[in-house]
Amino acid sequence: MNEINKIKSWVIFSAGGTGGHIFPALAVAERLRESHPDIGILFIGNKNRMEADIIPDHNFPIILLDMHGVDRKNLLKNINLPYKLLKSWMELNKIFKRFKPKVAVGFGGYVTYPVLKFAQWRGIPTIVQEQNSTPGLANIKLSKKASAICVAYPTIKNYIKTPNVHLIGNLVRNEITTPMTKELAANFWNLNENKKTILALGGSLGAKAINDFICDILPDLITKDLQLIWQTGDKYSLDTCINKDKINNNIIAKPFINTMREAYAMADIVIARAGASTLAELAALAKPAIIIPSPNVVNNHQYLNAQALAESNAIILLEENLLNTNGKNIVMDLINNETLQKQLSENISKFHNPNAMDNIIALIEKYLKN
Q: Is the pLDDT of residue 73 over 80?
A: no
**pLDDT value of position 175:** 84
pLDDT tens digits, residue range 179-194? 999 999 999 999 999 9
Alpha-carbon span 55 to 129, nearest angstrom: 18
Tens-place pLDDT, residues 99-111: 999 999 999 888 8
* Of 347 and 137, more confident: 347
- How far is Cα of residue 95 from the mean position of the Cα atoms in its chain? 26
Q: Quick check: 2 pLDDT over 90?
A: no
Neighbours of 144 (CB within 10 A): 11
Mean pLDDT of 328-357: 95
In the chain, at which residue ranges do the beta strands (DSSP E only) sit? 9-14, 39-46, 62-65, 103-106, 126-130, 148-151, 165-167, 197-201, 227-231, 251-254, 269-272, 289-291, 316-317
Q: How far is CA 22 from CA 40, 50, 177, in A?
A: 18, 8, 17
Q: What domains does the chain contain, in order, with CATH numbers?
A: 2-171+354-369 (3.40.50.2000), 175-349 (3.40.50.2000)
Report the sign of the C-alpha dihedral through residues 306, 307, 311, 317, in that order.
positive
Percent of the chain exceeding pLDDT 70 equals 91
Who has greater pLDDT, 154 or 123? 123
pLDDT at 78 over 60: no
Q: What is the pLDDT of residue 204?
A: 59
- pLDDT-based confidence at 308, cuts 50/70/90? confident
Find the mean pLDDT for residues 275-284: 91
pLDDT at 1: 45
End-to-end CA distance of the chain: 25
User: How far is 171 from 353, CA to CA, in rounded Å?
Assistant: 8
Angle, CA of 261, 242 and 297, to the nearest 5°: 55
pLDDT above 90 covers a percentage of the chain that reads: 61
Question: How would you label 95-104 residue by residue, b for 16+ Cβ within 10 Å and e otherwise?
Answer: bbeebebbbb
pLDDT grade, residue 17 (50/70/90)?
A: confident
pLDDT one-digit tens code per residue, 160-216: 888 899 999 888 888 888 999 999 999 999 999 999 999 999 765 668 899 999 999
**d(Cα 289, Cα 312) in Å, to the nearest integer?**
13
Query: Rounded mean pLDDT of 78-93?
Result: 77
Read off the DSSP letter of residue 249.
T
Residues 6+ apart with CB under 8 A from 85: 67, 114
The overall average pLDDT reported for the chain is 88
**In terms of residues, how long is the chain?**
370
Spatial distance between the Cα atoms of 276 and 22, rounded to a whole number of angstroms: 12
SS3 305: helix
pLDDT at 196: 97
List all residues 6 or more positions away from 271 whose beta carbon is below 8 Å from its beta carbon: 198, 199, 200, 201, 210, 214, 289, 290, 292, 331
Q: Is the pLDDT of residue 245 over 70?
A: no
Whether the pLDDT of residue 93 is over 90: the answer is: yes
SS3 state at 291? strand
Question: Sign of torsion, CA 298 359 143 80?
Answer: positive
CA distances from residue 358 to 96, 166, 336, 369 in whole angstroms, order as listed: 27, 13, 38, 16
What pairs with residue 63 in β-bridges?
44
